[in-house]
Chains A and B, each alone.
Chain A
């Protein structure tokens, strides 16, 4: 079961906002409603579900309704219509006390401008969520310290927020959100106020953190690069409407409409696509087959080199046609003539990081996993074709 299910969720701002609901039902646009009944549609019938442990990114430009949408999830903004279900329970129908408990136990939040309490120390900030729950002092200090350690702020607990840099302040925000161990963490443009370099570090750390604590994260951003880097799935919003929901690849490769297409056309694909996206099935041979077989295989498939891997697919090296010919002449085995010094990369390596490696070698780059098993090879043509925006045909994936 999804942890969050959102059905027909709608927010209209203005006096007696409910009267806009039937109009939206009839398909009136945001502009038409603004002009004719003077109401502002913030979120228009959003519909999605979030799985446990997922990083779900809601992305859109300013004014697209993404910050409103995230606040509808914990009712910092009251929905005008529709449903939010948390593990099947209706959040919209909760009374104030139930809502408070839901916010205390199940859903934490990290804010764009950090929103740290200036009169409290770093530790007291991290403790806040536990404190309002009535957790006793010793226990909450312990939990808050754990959260601070998790975000790398050990030793800073007695400082005040204004003594910290922006990146560190947001770590405090993150620790505050994590300290009461919520099921879901809402992050509203959490890294947007940070310098680009610090921002990238924080994205990386968030991914590492997520791998450890396995929270469900709803991440709001206006930055497509950020969305592509951290999102398991991305919902793209425009004018209060969710235009497309999909994995980063789906959004890039199959944009749902012209808007998404325009949005993603400026993306630097080399920073999004990885070796795994462009690699092909390698031409390979097992060492015990001997140089003659290798040479024959090369002739058959019209290549000038072969990858050599053992029965477990462990990469041994590369043998070229010349090497094979020489081995036959001198009666050597493949293992004796094989070149072991060959470029290898992990499947998650970004294309951007492949360029230098590829310019230094005339051989294709081998893609291997952690235990050195050959997964595929990357040739220059495939990289260029991917960067030109051509989808890599499924059949050529390993």
Chain B
């Protein structure tokens, strides 16, 4: 028996072409919005002199964590500045923040929908599995053909890669709220949205924050990959150093990513703790 090869690849390419042809204007709007957002964040980050921003971040770290975190922020960020990587680092940070903010804005509502309907959850779950396991390089290509080269397809690819934890953990957090509490809220005549905002989201918040933290970390891990399609920043420096076999330059840029990663991780992990007391 000879079964012909299923033309899956052709199908995907046809779909890609069809989308670019008929949804071009939509993609243009998305491009403008995301591009503007990244640029805006970058402008805010680079508007202030590096030293001023370091002081602000250190103060934030002190407020959220304690002096050890503030100390790490000061030393780490001063090192980045000293290595001459401040500008590119802020570019990458802008990309990560834009992708993370959008992922949270899209992901939390989808997670809430999943928690409220098994049908939605059963539809979304395999899509999330697909998004997380499909190698990220593969959806860089359609992203480029929809949004051309630059930071925007990088943000889109980062969102696709990083959004699943936010959706999954929002869903999980809400579903974990004990049925007795939900019953109590019902017994006192709560509307569905009162139940959501007064009970389910507050109780699920630590779990949701864990998801957001993972989303930020995953989108940071996309920084280098995004640079392959023209996103600027420390990711691009790493990419260039690797392709030119410059170990030292690669290490310096890598250190900058590590510092940003640790700061983002600790800040988001601890953000909720003081308020819970």
Residues of A bordering B, CB below 8 Å: 74, 76, 99-105, 108-109, 111, 113, 115-119, 128-129, 131-133, 176, 180, 186
Q: Contact between B191 and A132 (Cβ–Cβ < 8 Å)? A: yes
B40 within 8 A of A: no
B186 within 8 A of A: yes
Q: Known: A119-B203, A132-B198. Is A103-B184 also a contact (CB below 8 A)?
A: no
Contact with A along B162-198 (1 / 0, CB 8 A): 0000000000000000101101111111110010001
Q: Contact between A101 and B189 (Cβ–Cβ < 8 Å)? A: yes
Cα distance A111–B186 in the bound complex, in angstroms: 12
Cα distance A86–B109 in the bound complex, in angstroms: 39
* Size bracket, chain B contacts: 10 to 19
Residues of A within 8 A of B191 (CB): 100, 132
Residues of B within 8 A of A102 (CB): 189
Residues of B within 8 A of A105 (CB): 189
Residues of A within 8 A of B186 (CB): 76, 103
Residues of B within 8 A of A100 (CB): 189-191
Cα distance A176–B181 in the bound complex, in angstroms: 13
Residues of B within 8 A of A186 (CB): 187
B202 within 8 A of A: yes
Cβ 8 A contact of B190, one of A101, A109, A132: A132
Cα distance A115–B181 in the bound complex, in angstroms: 5
Q: Contact between B203 and A132 (Cβ–Cβ < 8 Å)? A: no
Cα distance A109–B186 in the bound complex, in angstroms: 10
Residues of A within 8 A of B183 (CB): 76, 111, 115
Residues of B bordering A, CB below 8 Å: 178, 180-181, 183-191, 194, 198-199, 202-203
Chain A residue at minimum C-beta to C-beta distance from B184: A115
Q: Contact between B187 and A109 (Cβ–Cβ < 8 Å)? A: yes
Cα distance A199–B232 in the bound complex, in angstroms: 68
Residues of A within 8 A of B188 (CB): 103-104, 108-109, 128-129, 132, 176, 180
Q: Contact between A76 and B198 (Cβ–Cβ < 8 Å)? A: no
Chain B residue at minimum C-beta to C-beta distance from A124: B198
Q: Contact between A118 and B189 (Cβ–Cβ < 8 Å)? A: no
A253 CB, nearest partner CB in chain B, Å: 36
Cα distance A117–B188 in the bound complex, in angstroms: 13
Cα distance A132–B198 in the bound complex, in angstroms: 9
Residues of B within 8 A of A111 (CB): 180, 183-184
Given A76-B186, A103-B186, list of 18 further CB < 8 A pairs? A76-B183, A76-B187, A100-B189, A103-B188, A103-B189, A108-B188, A109-B188, A111-B184, A115-B181, A116-B184, A117-B181, A117-B203, A128-B198, A129-B188, A131-B198, A132-B188, A133-B189, A176-B188
Cα distance A104–B186 in the bound complex, in angstroms: 10
Q: Contact between B189 and A109 (Cβ–Cβ < 8 Å)? A: no
Can you list 9 pairs linking A and B with CB atoms under 8 Å apart?
A: A76-B183, A105-B189, A108-B187, A109-B188, A111-B184, A115-B184, A117-B198, A117-B199, A129-B188
Residues of A within 8 A of B189 (CB): 99-105, 129, 132-133
Residues of B within 8 A of A131 (CB): 198
A105 CB, nearest partner CB in chain B, Å: 8
B83 CB, nearest partner CB in chain A, Å: 44
Cα distance A100–B190 in the bound complex, in angstroms: 7
Residues of A within 8 A of B178 (CB): 115
Chain B residue at minimum C-beta to C-beta distance from A106: B189
A199 CB, nearest partner CB in chain B, Å: 20
Cα distance A115–B202 in the bound complex, in angstroms: 15
Q: Contact between B199 and A115 (Cβ–Cβ < 8 Å)? A: no
Residues of B within 8 A of A109 (CB): 184, 187-188
Cβ 8 A contact of A113, one of B180, B185, B190: B180
Chain A residue at minimum C-beta to C-beta distance from B179: A115
Chain A residue at minimum C-beta to C-beta distance from B201: A119
Chain A residue at minimum C-beta to C-beta distance from B182: A115
Residues of B within 8 A of A76 (CB): 183, 186-187
